[in-house]
Chains A and B, each alone.
Chain A
Amino acid sequence: MSAITPTTPVPGLFEIQAHNWKLAILVGLIVSVLSMFALPPEAAFWITGAMAAMVAAAFVVNAYRRHYYGGLLVAPAIAVLFVMNIFPLLWSLGLSFFAYQSNQQTIRFVGLTNYTKVLTDSLKAPENWANLTNTAMFVVLTVTAQMIVGFLLALMFAKQFPLRKYLLILVLTPMMLSVVAAGVFFSYYYDPTFGLLSYFIRLFTGEQFILMDNKAGAVAGIVFADAWMWSPFVMLLVLAGLVSVPKYLYEAAAIDRVSGWRRFWSITFPYIRGLLMLALLFRTIEAFKMADLVILLTKGGNGTMTISYHLIRIANEQNKTSEGAAISYVMLFIVIVLTNLYLYIANRRTEGA
Chain B
Amino acid sequence: MTAKTKLQGLATAAGFALALFVGGATTASAEDVTLHMAVPDWPPTRIMKKYFDEQYKPPSGNKVILDVDFIPWPDFYTRVNASLTSGEKKYNMSVADSQWLGAFVEGGYFRKVNDYIEADPALAKTMADIHPSFYNAYSTYPYTSKNIYGFPQFPDVLVTYGRKDILCDAGEQAAFLAKFNSKLPCTGEEIDAMDWTAFENVGKFFQRKKGEMLAGKPLDDDFYGIAFQAGKGYDFSSMQINGFIWQEGGDIWDETKIPDGKAEGVVNSPQAIKGLAHYLSLIQYMPPVAKTGTMDIFKSDELFREGKVAMNIDWIGLGEASLDPKTSKVSDKLVFGLPPGTKGADGKLVRWNNLGGQPFVFTTWNSDLQNKEGMEFVKWWLSPAIQNQFAAGGGQSAVKSVYSDPKYVTYRPWNRAWAAALDWQKDVWHVPQFFELLTQQQDQFDLAITGKQDAKTTLDNVAKFQQDLLSTAGLIK
In the bound complex, residues from chain B placing their C-beta under 8 Å from that of A5 are none
A259 within 8 A of B: no
Known interface pairs A302-B450, A318-B435; A213-B85 also in contact (CB < 8 Å): no
Closest-CB distance, A324 to chain B (whole angstroms): 12
In the bound complex, residues from chain A placing their C-beta under 8 Å from that of B77 are 317
A213 touches B450 (CB 8 A): yes
- The answer for the CA separation of A313 and B436 in the assembled complex, in Å, is 9
- The answer for the CA separation of A177 and B436 in the assembled complex, in Å, is 33
Closest-CB distance, B206 to chain A (whole angstroms): 14
- The answer for the CA separation of A192 and B221 in the assembled complex, in Å, is 11
Instruction: Kindly identify which residue among A103, A299, A316 contacts B107, using a CB–CB cutoff of 8 Å.
Output: A103
Among A297, A300, A319, chain B packs the most CB atoms within 10 A around the CB of: A319
B77 (CB) vs chain A CBs: closest residue: A317
Closest-CB distance, B89 to chain A (whole angstroms): 11
Describe B's contact surface by its main secondary structure: helix
B293 within 8 A of A: yes
Closest-CB distance, B308 to chain A (whole angstroms): 6
B432 within 8 A of A: yes
B402 within 8 A of A: no
Q: Which residues 269-317 in A have Cβ within 8 Å of B in the complex?
A: 297-302, 313, 316-317
Q: Which residues 73-132 in B have Cβ within 8 Å of A in the complex?
A: 77-78, 81-82, 84-87, 103-104, 106-109
Size of chain B's interface in residues, with CB distance under 8 A?
38
A178 within 8 A of B: no
A253 within 8 A of B: no
- The answer for the CA separation of A300 and B292 in the assembled complex, in Å, is 11
Known interface pairs A301-B232, A317-B439, A319-B81; A193-B289 also in contact (CB < 8 Å): yes
B464 (CB) vs chain A CBs: closest residue: A123
Q: Which residues 280-314 in B have Cβ within 8 Å of A in the complex?
A: 287-289, 291-294, 303, 306, 308
Closest-CB distance, B233 to chain A (whole angstroms): 5
A195 (CB) vs chain B CBs: closest residue: B289
In the bound complex, residues from chain B placing their C-beta under 8 Å from that of A41 are 87
Among A105, A192, A193, A211, chain B packs the most CB atoms within 10 A around the CB of: A193
Q: Which residues 215-248 in B have Cβ within 8 Å of A in the complex?
A: 221-222, 231-233
A194 within 8 A of B: yes
Describe A's contact surface by its main secondary structure: loop
- The answer for the CA separation of A103 and B104 in the assembled complex, in Å, is 7
B332 within 8 A of A: no
- The answer for the CA separation of A144 and B24 in the assembled complex, in Å, is 48
Closest-CB distance, A82 to chain B (whole angstroms): 18
In the bound complex, residues from chain A placing their C-beta under 8 Å from that of B427 are none
Closest-CB distance, A293 to chain B (whole angstroms): 13
B106 touches A104 (CB 8 A): yes
- The answer for the CA separation of A301 and B444 in the assembled complex, in Å, is 10
B212 within 8 A of A: no
Closest-CB distance, A307 to chain B (whole angstroms): 15
A301 touches B293 (CB 8 A): yes
Known interface pairs A298-B292, A302-B292; A318-B439 also in contact (CB < 8 Å): yes
Closest-CB distance, B467 to chain A (whole angstroms): 12
A226 within 8 A of B: no
B292 touches A102 (CB 8 A): no
Known interface pairs A104-B106, A105-B107, A300-B232; A193-B288 also in contact (CB < 8 Å): yes
B292 touches A210 (CB 8 A): yes
A194 touches B232 (CB 8 A): no
Known interface pairs A298-B292, A301-B293, A319-B103; A193-B81 also in contact (CB < 8 Å): no
A184 (CB) vs chain B CBs: closest residue: B74
Given contacts A211-B292, A316-B81, A318-B435, 8 further A-B contacts (CB under 8 A): A105-B107, A193-B303, A299-B446, A300-B232, A301-B446, A302-B292, A302-B293, A317-B81
Chain A positions within 8 Å of B, measured between CB atoms, are 41, 102-105, 123, 187, 191-194, 208, 210-213, 218, 297-302, 313, 316-319
- The 9 A-B pairs with the shortest beta carbon distances in the complex, nearest first, are A301-B293, A103-B107, A102-B85, A299-B232, A192-B288, A212-B292, A213-B291, A301-B232, A299-B233
